[in-house]
Amino acid sequence: MGSAEVMERPITLQEWLGIVVMTKQTYLHSQKRQWDRTRQLRLKAYHHLYRLFRVDQEICYYCTKSKANTLDHCPSLLRVALLGVEYFRRRGISFILVPACMPCNNDVGGGFYRRGHFVQLDYRRFLKGRSKS
């Protein structure tokens, strides 16, 4: 009788859900911090390669409706980090910053690759037009 017995009671569903939610929030927070650190490293490594395209425009390059409040990296910093700078240089792909609204800049869905390809084609037409003048 010297030691007290601790009787474990079953955990309730509400308690279990609370633990799951807290664990998920902690996980998501740490994932976001990790993503932010990784993005900062990519910016530091590759941002100097990019040149601003269409400086005079204050509207989003993609939707042409919203005010451009961000700059979109084309090709994306992630793609450059994964494939390497030389991959793009060998293919004659320029590193361009285009004005974009936040929703368009954050849209990395199925049209992401096509969007980057379109920007490159438009940029090449722009350069060709400048060389004729």
Q: pLDDT per position in the chain (133 positions), as tens?
A: 555 665 666 767 766 666 666 665 665 656 666 667 887 888 899 989 998 876 557 888 878 888 888 888 888 888 888 889 998 899 888 888 888 888 888 775 434 555 566 666 666 666 666 566 5
DSSP 16: H
**At residue 8, what are phi and psi to the nearest 5 degrees?**
-85, 130
Residue written as tokens 């990296």? Answer: 73
Q: What is the pTM of this model?
A: 0.60
**At residue 52, what are phi and psi to the nearest 5 degrees?**
-75, 135
**At residue 33, what are phi and psi to the nearest 5 degrees?**
-60, -45
3-state secondary structure of 87: helix
